[in-house]
Amino acid sequence: MATLPADEDYAKSLLKIFSDRRVRPGQSLKASQVGPEFLAKNLGRAFDYESALAYSAERGWLKLEFGQIRLTRIGFEEM
């Protein structure tokens, strides 16, 4: 998938969800909750959410594990 300039903005919006919930490095949120919250807060469309996840994973900000999205130390610092 090609990376677009807006992908970083969507990824930072995704990190905002973790920040709002006061998630610390190493803690996770359920992917089944994060996606709908991203859409409900009008942070982007479903495609934008997928791009945000991919961008965040590539940068090491988030890790996708067993239906969970784990915040890394790098992601926490980016918030």
Taking Cα atoms as reference points, which of 31, 32, 36, 37 lies closest to residue 57? 31
pLDDT for 28 = 97
How far from chain centre, in Å, is Cα 5?
16
Q: pLDDT by residue (tens digit) across 3-61?
A: 556 889 999 999 999 999 999 999 999 999 999 999 999 888 999 999 999 999 999 99
pLDDT for 4 = 54
Q: Domains plus CATH for the chain?
A: 7-78 (1.10.10.10)
